Amino acid sequence: MELKENLGLILIIIGLLICMTMYLAWIGVPIAAIGTYMLYKKVSKQEERVAEELQTKKDEINGLDKELEQLKADLALAREEEDIQTYGLYEPHYDFETATAYKERLDEIRRRQKQLVKDKKAAWGKPNMTLNGDARKGQAMINDNIKQIIRTFNTECDVTIRKVKHSNIEASEKRIRKSYETLNRLNERLGVRIQPEYLNLKIEELYLAYEYEVKKQEEKELLAEAREREREERKLRQKLEKEKNKFNRENDRITKELDDAEAKLQSADDDEKAKLEAQIAELKAALEKNNEEIEKIDKWEETPGAGYVYIISNIGSFGEDVFKIGVTRRDDPEERIKELSNASVPFKYDSHVFIFSEDAYNLESSLHERFDKKRVNKINRRKEFFNISIDDVKEIVEENKASVHSFVEEPEAEEYYDSLKIAELPE
C-alpha cells in the first residue's frame, strides 16, 4: 500500500516535470524572438552611431578639403604677387593728365560706395526672415549680418588697396574678388550677399588708387626736375653776374688807366710818347677782350636754351655700353658731372663728350628720341640711360663736330679698376 502511494507520488512529479518541460518549450519561442529583437536593436544603434561618426569624419574631411583649397588659392595669389606680375606690362585703365583728376575721380567712387551703403544697396538680405517666430527679430538679424558682411569686405579691400603696387595689381584684384565670393558663400544660408555693383566700385577704386599714386610720383619727379633746372639756372645767373661784374670792374680800372695814359701822351716827349702809345694799345686790347666776354655773358643770359649736351658713363655702376645723355646750362659742364657723381653711385662718372648748342634741350630730346628703343628704363622716360655703344657716341660727335668741346673715347674709371685690383689681392 505504501509502495503504491509512493509510486503515485512519483508519477505525479514526473507528470508535473513533463508539463513544465512542455510549457517551457512552448514559451521558449517568443523569448528567443524577443532576444533576437533586442539584439537587432542593439546592433542597429551601434550601426547608427558608427554612421554618425563616419558622417562627422566626412564633414571634417570636407572642411579640411575646403580649407586646403583656400590655402592653395591664397598660395597661388601670393605666387602671382611675387613672380608673375613682376614681369607683366601694366596697361593704365584711366588716362587723366593730372594727379588732381585722379583724386577727384577716386573721391567720386568712394562717395558712390557710401551712397550704396546708405541706400542699403551695397548688400542684400533675404526678406521675411523670422527668428523664433518673430519677424522683427529676423529682420534685425538680417540687418546685423548685412552690416557685418559690408564691414568685413571693406576692411579686406582697404588692406589690399593700401598695399597695391605694380607687381601685385592683378593679384590684388583677384584677392578682392575672392573675398567677395567667400563672404557671399559663407552668408548664403541667410540669403545675405554683397551686390555686384559694390564689388565693381571696389575694383575701380583699386586701379584708381594705384594710378593716382603713380601719377603723383610722376609729378613729384617732374617737379624735382623743374626745381633742379631752376636751381641750376639760378646758380648760373649768379655765376654769370659775378663774372660780368668782375669784367666791368676790370674795365673801369682799364678805362681809368687809359684816360691817364692818353692825358700824359699830350705832353710827353718822343721816347715817353712811344711807351705810352704801346701802353694805350695794350689797354685798348684788354678792354676789347673784356667787352667780348661781357657780350658772351649777355648772349648766354639772353639765350635760355643755350647749354651743353653731355654723354657720360659709369661702368663700375652700370656696366659697359650704358651711357647717360643729359643737358646742363652751366658754362662749366664738368660741375654738373661732379654733382651726379655723388653718394648715390659707387663710382664717379666718366665724361665722353660735351656738345655746346644754343638749343641744347632740343638737341638732348632728339638724341633721346633717336635711341628711344635702347632705353634701359622703358617705363620712366625721365631716366636718361641708354644701351648704346661707343660707336654710337662717335656718330654723335661726328654729326656735331663743330660744337664738340671735348671727346674721350676710353673711360678712365680709375676708382673702378683700382677696386678690381684690390679685390684680386690675396687676403
| DSSP characters over 52-63 | HHHHHHHHHHHH
151 grid coordinates: 564691414
| DSSP characters over 316-336 | HHH-TT-EEEEEE--SSTHHH
Which of the two residues, 79 and 169, has the higher pLDDT score? Answer: 169
* Residue 142 in this model has a pLDDT that exceeds 50: yes
% of the chain surpassing 90 pLDDT: 34
| DSSP characters over 74-115 | HHHHHHHHHTGGGG-----S---SSHHHHHHHHHHHHHHHHH
Closest by Cα among 156, 133, 132, 152 to 144: 152
pLDDT at position 5, please? 56
* Residue 384 in this model has a pLDDT that exceeds 60: yes
Q: Is 318 exposed, middle or buried (0-12, 13-18, 19+ CB in 10 A)?
A: middle
CA 82 to CA 248: how far, in whole Å? 65
Which of the two residues, 349 and 133, has the higher pLDDT score? Answer: 349
Predicted confidence (pLDDT) per residue in 54-75, tens digit:
777 676 676 666 666 666 666 6
69 grid coordinates: 583649397
**Residue 159 CB partners (closer than 8 Å, separation 6+):** none
Residue 51's pLDDT band (boundaries 50, 70, 90)? low
Residue 81's pLDDT band (boundaries 50, 70, 90)? very low
User: How many Cβ atoms from other residues are within 10 Å of residue 11's Cβ?
Assistant: 10
pLDDT at position 193, please? 94
Predicted confidence (pLDDT) per residue in 290-321, tens digit:
888 888 778 777 777 788 999 999 999 999 99
What is the amino acid identity at position 259?
D
HSE-CB at 125 with a 13 A cutoff on CA atoms is: 19
| Phi, psi (rounded to 5 degrees) for 308 | -120, 130
* Residue 386 in this model has a pLDDT that exceeds 90: yes
CA 309 to CA 371: how far, in whole Å? 15
Predicted confidence (pLDDT) per residue in 269-284, tens digit:
877 888 888 888 888 8
Output Rg (C-alpha) for the chain, integer angstroms.
48
pLDDT at position 86, please? 42
What is the amino acid identity at position 40?
Y
Residue 83's pLDDT band (boundaries 50, 70, 90)? very low
Predicted confidence (pLDDT) per residue in 327-379, tens digit:
998 878 898 899 898 878 999 999 999 999 888 889 999 999 999 999 999 87
- Whole-angstrom CA distances from 354 to 69, 360, 403 are 62, 11, 8
Report field, pTM of the whole predicted structure over 0.85:
no
pLDDT at position 63, please? 60
**Residue 90 CB partners (closer than 8 Å, separation 6+):** 166, 169
pLDDT at position 29, please? 46
* Residue 98 in this model has a pLDDT that exceeds 90: no
CA 424 to CA 185: how far, in whole Å? 64
Closest by Cα among 322, 351, 345 to 416: 345
Predicted confidence (pLDDT) per residue in 209-258, tens digit:
999 998 888 888 777 777 777 787 787 778 878 888 988 898 899 888 88
Which of the two residues, 147 and 24, has the higher pLDDT score? Answer: 147
- Whole-angstrom CA distances from 18 to 22, 29, 229, 236 are 6, 18, 130, 139
CA 269 to CA 407: how far, in whole Å? 55
Which of the two residues, 92 and 416, has the higher pLDDT score? Answer: 416
Residue 87's pLDDT band (boundaries 50, 70, 90)? very low
pLDDT at position 296, please? 79
State the chain's mean pLDDT as an integer: 82
Residue 85's pLDDT band (boundaries 50, 70, 90)? very low
Closest by Cα among 130, 131, 124, 128 to 147: 124
**Residue 126 CB partners (closer than 8 Å, separation 6+):** 142, 190, 191, 192
* Residue 137 in this model has a pLDDT that exceeds 50: yes
